[in-house]
Amino acid sequence: MTVKLGANRYGKAETRLVRVVKDGPVHHIKDVNVSTALSGDMEAAHLSGDNAAVLPTDSQKNTVFAFAREHGVAEIETFALLLARHFVETRPTVHHARVEVEEYAWNRRGPHSFVRDGGEVRTCVVHHDRDGRTTVVSGLKDLVVLNSTGSEFHGYIVDPYTTLQPTDDRVLATAVAARWRHTGQTPSYAKSYEQVRGALLEAFAGTHSLSLQQTLYAMGERALTTCPEICEVRLTLPNKHHFAVDLSPFGLDNDNEVFHAADRPYGLIEGGVLREDAPDAGFAWE
């Protein structure tokens, strides 16, 4: 039997970096998690242990810190682009770079004092290859939202295993994970982030929901119509079930006022919405 090397990439995962910018007594912080992954002429490294083509993951990590010092960390997408281009353009054996960045938000409490915002995480994944092809996918995760009414679920398949009761009033809650693909260079990733985030929240709150699937589509559609710089949105929505508790044993009614917020299992609703004329995604989602 003969075998051969398949797809491979390597890099430093989760370099945790905090960059402080000192504007006199007023400081600014950027708290990020950077993962780099490179691929290219890596056959010899895998087949014979010849590391001549390998830029060590330790050097990749050092590059992240050095670039933060030299260039600062403005928007995560621009920092990721800088790193991806650097690895491909300075190392001939590296043909493709994938750089993923997560950003954790802090709120100001004073000139040099901050409190960590426990809310959502901003994300991006940038690819760049030696043919000059570049893709940027931005996103967010852990954006937890809830509608205490305005959600129904009925009309589904009933089979011998069905116990779920149809409802015309339930709590709808989810932790939104959304990623969106930029068509080209976006002038301000911060602005498009705010536009898409706002659109997702507006659509969640403003849609009278007949299912989380319908809400997902409405959220993706709103993001695309609000932000012309993006062509595709992918959403992952866990259905954070809230079950009305039966209080009748205690002689109490419960008109959707007391819920058990269940943890597991949860429904998981996933889907993409894209413009009819969206260009080919290439390696953007990898």
Ligand X SMILES: O=c1[nH]c(=O)c2[nH]c(=O)[nH]c2[nH]1
Nearer to ligand X, 186 or 239 (CB): 239
Verify binding: residue 267, ligand X, rule CB under 6 A: yes
The backbone region for 196, taken as left when phi is positive above 0, alpha when psi lies in -120 to 50, beta otherwise, is alpha
21 forms beta bridges with 28
Catalytic residue among 27, 57, 86, 95: 57
Closest distance to ligand X from the beta carbon of 139 (Å):
22
123 forms beta bridges with 102, 139
Which residue's Cβ has the minimum distance to ligand X? 212
Report how far residue 177's alpha carbon sits from residue 121's, in angstroms, rounded to the nearest whole number: 9
Q: With contacts defined by CB under 6 A, name the span among 33-41, 87-95, 129-137, 209-217 that binds ligand X.
A: 209-217
Catalytic residue among 61, 182, 240, 241: 241
Task: Establish whether 57 is a catalytic residue.
Answer: yes
The amino acid at residue 131 is D
Tokens 């087949």 appear where? 47
Nearer to ligand X, 91 or 240 (CB): 240
Closest distance to ligand X from the beta carbon of 135 (Å):
31
Residues touching ligand X, count (CB under 6 A): 7
Nearer to ligand X, 213 or 226 (CB): 213
Closest distance to ligand X from the beta carbon of 209 (Å):
7
Q: For the chain, count helices (H), then strands (E).
A: 5, 10
Nearer to ligand X, 198 or 267 (CB): 267
Q: Are 147 and 172 in contact (CB under 8 A)?
A: yes
Closest distance to ligand X from the beta carbon of 266 (Å):
10
Q: Are 115 and 121 in contact (CB under 8 A)?
A: no
Alpha-carbon dihedral of residues 207, 210, 213, 215, nearest 10 degrees? 0
Verify binding: residue 211, ligand X, rule CB under 6 A: yes
- 3-state SS of the chain: helix, strand, coil percent to 5? 25, 40, 35
178 forms beta bridges with 140, 235
Verify binding: residue 271, ligand X, rule CB under 6 A: no
| Phi, psi dihedrals of residue 282, rounded to the nearest 5° | 55, -130
Q: With contacts defined by CB under 6 A, name the span among 36-44, 72-80, 193-201, 208-216 that binds ligand X.
A: 208-216
Task: Establish whether 225 is a catalytic residue.
Answer: no
Catalytic residue among 12, 61, 182, 240: 12
Q: Are 272 and 217 in contact (CB under 8 A)?
A: no
**Hey, which residues between 146 and 165 contact ligand X (CB under 6 A)?**
153, 164
Strand 172-182 to 15-23 pairing: unpaired
Closest distance to ligand X from the beta carbon of 179 (Å):
21
Task: Establish whether 12 is a catalytic residue.
Answer: yes
Give the residue numbers marked as catalytic. 12, 57, 241
Residues that bind ligand X (CB under 6 A): 153, 164, 211-213, 239, 267
